[in-house]
Amino acid sequence: MPSPIALTTPPRQESIFKKRSPSYLTAMRSAQSYLIALSEADARARSRDSASTMSTPALSLSSTATTLSEEDVVNDAPCDNSDGLAFPTTPPTSEQFSSANHLQFGFCANENYRYKSAHKAGTQLKELHEQDPPYYILLTTYLGYLFLICIGHIRDFFGKRFHPKFYGHLLPFDGYAPLNSDFDSFYTRRFKTRIDDCFAAPVTGVPGRTIALLDRDSDDYNNSFFLTGTTTRGLNISSYNYLGFASAQGGCADAVEESLRRYGASSCGALLEGGSSEVQMTAEALVASFVGQEDALISSMGFATNSTIIPALVSKGCLVISDELNHASIRFGVRLSGTNIRMFKHNNMKSLESLLREVISQGQPKTHRPWKKILLIVEGLYSMEGTLLNLPGIMELKKKYKFSLFIDEAHSIGALGPNGRGVVDYFGVNPREIDILMGTFTKSFGAAGGYIAGSKTLIDRLRLRGHGGAYAESMTPPVLTQIMASMASIMGVSPSTSSALELAQHHPGPAHPCQLPAWIDLPPSLRDGSEGRMRLRRIAFNARYLSRGLAKLGFITYGHTDSPIVPLLLYNTGKMCVFHRMMRARKTPIVVVVVAYPATPLVTSRVRFCVSASHTKDDIDTVLRACNEIGDVLDLKHLPGERWPLERIFNSAVELVNMEDE
């Protein structure tokens, strides 16, 4: 293998990667046939008058050329298994097995590879202390930055003199200030561009257990990329597909198809102005009972849920207390609200309590009037750290200090808790004690958008005062259907006996049949909740297995063991791209996300694994094996403590997962 540092894309002559030319690139027609079709279609459209419910013509040139038949989809599954992704190592025996499905949702029948995600009652949430790397690692990391800064400045110095046209857009030109200043873009130009092949890689197909990357290449040092026309399928340990509901087949996809046929793909406007539909109301009621609140509202984008609802909750004279690592959407919303904001140290209850004592006693700045409201905004599971919210600690503080609590469950909803109802479920807290539960559907549910749940009065207030209700487009029916179908599969639908009201009393219980539109016809395994439970138990197992396994191999990871997000620390920025490229160039390619400053602190560059229920134990083994090899090459194993050889980890996976926290 050539040196991984030298590669930007895997060598093309090696045949370990499957290559298929994508079918959608073949559309090209003569101008004449195009014009003929054009006029025909227009005539057709005119002649068919307003009798039908819609009068737009059914013409599409591209669609005729790019239609995918059912066969294509099945053929999408590779016939060879050279990368070891298409078939499980222990061949399936009883059930009917399709490798197309296996690529999206791994086949894993062994009931031992399951775990229940729940906090042990009566125990404290483990305090995380971040393991520091040896000093030479820190030193080389800083030196690495220093070196890059120097090189960057030298290149800028000569570049500006010898290639001024490359710097044109950074300098004032013809009376215009540059859109992007030389200084602001230094990091992007001189750091990120060097390793841009590791970021924002385009993909195709379902972001399931495996994912197909579109191969690309650059002939101008990563300033621009072109697609080479081939694809590489790799094990996907990066997408937020926690429960494996990203799928083109199965009960949920069937329901979505039915909804497309019934409702089309448009929502036609803002909720208050002509975009309200019965489907939306049904979905909102289902979400409310899923999270155990009185009412919920759904917005068409997760980011916008935060950025448009927070300003409706707090205003001048209020205070927002925010975890220092909160998501950008929360910060965006708080900034728009114009309130005061204070931060406390990440998930640190001591820091939070001392801050609370300070702000309540001091009151508003200058005037010292008491705060009108204090809103604490935290996340259930932090997406870069893998830390679980210390909810028991916060609930205790909430009793004493009376602040309102807003939990962003973007990553935790579905992915955590014995019933998949997020951190609240994980810790067994009554959801009604929390003022606002927010979450997104982009992750565990394989859909899009976000929700806000709380008491009915509050949610009604937000329907009117949130920016989204009046101005933002509402969610489209297919996406709503995906949410309802996947959510009902997690909850299970009760055989219709008891009244809906009764069901609402037993919070993490099944959905009532009337909560689902009658036309959603889930297959039995989804309807009775058995598959949903299986998914919850699989992701819990995989999460613990991966983080424990990595620790036993000697890697420094962050976060709690139950978190499906497992960040593995790399420190040196240079190792990021090498790690990424080596993972991708393996016989079984593995697709990983590497992150560095500014998403993380300067020195703690990391690779972030997102475990999914769709992974099998074998998949986690594959990841561990790859990490082990690459970790040796890149000198990544710095965790003190007992190390286990790979085989021992593989063989005692169950024991490892069931081990208590020290």
Ligand X SMILES: Cc1ncc(COP(=O)(O)O)c(C=O)c1O
Lay out the site mask for another protein across 18-37 (x = CB under 8 A, - = otherwise): ----x-x------------x
Does position 99 interact with another protein (CB under 8 A)? The reply is no
- What, of ligand X, another protein, none, does residue 468 touch, CB below 5 to 8 Å by kind? another protein
Q: Which stretch binds another protein (CB under 8 A): 107-115, 118-126, 176-184, 559-567?
A: 176-184
Q: Residue 615 carries which side chain, given as an amino acid letter?
A: H
- Tell me the closest approach of the beta carbon of residue 124 to ligand X, in angstroms: 24
DSSP state letters, 155-221: HHHHHHHH-GGGGGGGS-BTTBPPSS-TTTTHHHHHTGGGGGGGSS--EES--SSEEEEEEEE-SST
Q: Which of residues 380-409 bind another protein (CB under 8 A)?
A: 400-404
Does position 55 interact with another protein (CB under 8 A)? The reply is yes
Q: Select 329 or 600, whichever has its Cβ closest to ligand X.
A: 329
Does position 247 interact with ligand X (CB under 6 A)? The reply is no
Lay out the site mask for another protein across 454-473 (x = CB under 8 A, - = otherwise): x--xx-xxxxxx-xxxxxxx
C-alpha dist (Å) from residue 106 to 57, 103, 177, 457: 41, 6, 53, 43
Q: Helix, strand or coil for residue 467?
A: helix
Does position 600 interact with ligand X (CB under 6 A)? The reply is no
Lay out the site mask for ligand X across 367-396 (x = CB under 6 A, - = otherwise): ------------x---x-------------
- Tell me the closest approach of the beta carbon of residue 309 to ligand X, in angstroms: 11
- Tell me the closest approach of the beta carbon of residue 274 to another protein, in angstroms: 4
Closest residue to ligand X, Cβ-based? 302
Q: How far, in whole angstroms, is CA 397 from its chain's centroid?
A: 30
Q: Select 161 or 366, whichever has its Cβ closest to another protein.
A: 366
Lay out the site mask for ligand X across 501-520 (x = CB under 6 A, - = otherwise): --------------------
- d(Cα 232, Cα 234) in Å, to the nearest integer? 6
Size of the site for another protein (CB under 8 A): 157
Nearest to 278 by CA among 468, 493, 484: 484
Does position 106 interact with another protein (CB under 8 A)? The reply is no
Q: Which of residues 414-453 bind another protein (CB under 8 A)?
A: 435-436, 440-443, 445-448
- Tell me the closest approach of the beta carbon of residue 450 to ligand X, in angstroms: 5
- Tell me the closest approach of the beta carbon of residue 78 to ligand X, in angstroms: 30
Peptide bond into 598 cis (omega under 30): yes
Q: Select 447 or 630, whichever has its Cβ closest to ligand X.
A: 447
Q: Which of residues 413-472 bind ligand X (CB under 6 A)?
A: 440, 442, 450
CB count within 10 Å of CB 295 equals 20
Q: Select 447 or 503, whichever has its Cβ closest to ligand X.
A: 447
- Cβ proximity of 603 and 556 under 8 Å: no
Helices 477-491/278-291 angle, 10° precision: 30
> Which DSSP state fits 285?
H
The answer for residues whose C-beta is within 8 angstroms of residue 157's C-beta and 6 or more apart is none
Does position 116 interact with another protein (CB under 8 A)? The reply is no
Burial 240-268 (b: 16+ CB within 10 A, else e): bbbbbbbbebbbbbbbbebbeeebeeebe
Nearest to 440 by CA among 267, 279, 301, 284: 301
Q: Select 104 or 419, whichever has its Cβ closest to another protein.
A: 104
Q: Select 322 or 628, whichever has its Cβ closest to another protein.
A: 322
- What, of another protein, ligand X, none, does residue 196 touch, CB below 5 to 8 Å by kind? none
Does position 327 interact with another protein (CB under 8 A)? The reply is yes
The answer for residues whose C-beta is within 8 angstroms of residue 516's C-beta and 6 or more apart is 282, 286, 484, 488, 493, 522
Q: Based on C-alpha coordinates, what's the Rg of the chain?
A: 26
Q: Select 407 or 539, whichever has its Cβ closest to ligand X.
A: 407
- What, of another protein, ligand X, none, does residue 460 touch, CB below 5 to 8 Å by kind? another protein
Q: Which stretch binds ligand X (CB under 6 A): 109-117, 403-411, 546-554, 614-622?
A: 403-411
- Tell me the closest approach of the beta carbon of residue 575 to ligand X, in angstroms: 25
Q: Helix, strand or coil for residue 506?
A: coil
Q: Which of residues 278-317 bind ligand X (CB under 6 A)?
A: 301-303, 306
Q: Which of residues 483-522 bind another protein (CB under 8 A)?
A: none
Does position 577 interact with another protein (CB under 8 A)? The reply is no
Phi-psi region of 116 (alpha: psi -120 to 50; beta: other; left: phi over 0): beta
Lay out the site mask for ligand X across 313-332 (x = CB under 6 A, - = otherwise): --------------x-x---
Does position 124 interact with another protein (CB under 8 A)? The reply is no
- Tell me the closest approach of the beta carbon of residue 409 to ligand X, in angstroms: 8
CB count within 10 Å of CB 607 equals 26
- Tell me the closest approach of the beta carbon of residue 271 to another protein, in angstroms: 8
- Can you read off the two tokens belonging to residue 170? 């950074």
- d(Cα 653, Cα 621) in Å, to the nearest integer? 9
- Can you read off the two tokens belonging to residue 652? 């005692």
- Tell me the closest approach of the beta carbon of residue 423 to ligand X, in angstroms: 12
- What, of another protein, ligand X, none, does residue 270 touch, CB below 5 to 8 Å by kind? another protein
- Cβ proximity of 218 and 197 under 8 Å: yes
Does position 197 interact with ligand X (CB under 6 A)? The reply is no
Does position 148 interact with another protein (CB under 8 A)? The reply is no
Does position 608 interact with ligand X (CB under 6 A)? The reply is no
Size of the site for ligand X (CB under 6 A): 14
Distance linking the first and last C-alpha atoms of the chain = 41
- d(Cα 38, Cα 620) in Å, to the nearest integer? 52
- Cβ proximity of 381 and 565 under 8 Å: yes
Q: How many residues does the chain have?
A: 662
- Tell me the closest approach of the beta carbon of residue 313 to another protein, in angstroms: 6
Q: Which stretch binds another protein (CB under 8 A): 56-64, 112-120, 146-154, 624-632?
A: 56-64
- Cβ proximity of 474 and 280 under 8 Å: yes
Residues in contact with ligand X by CB under 6 A are 301-303, 306, 327, 329, 379, 383, 408, 410-411, 440, 442, 450
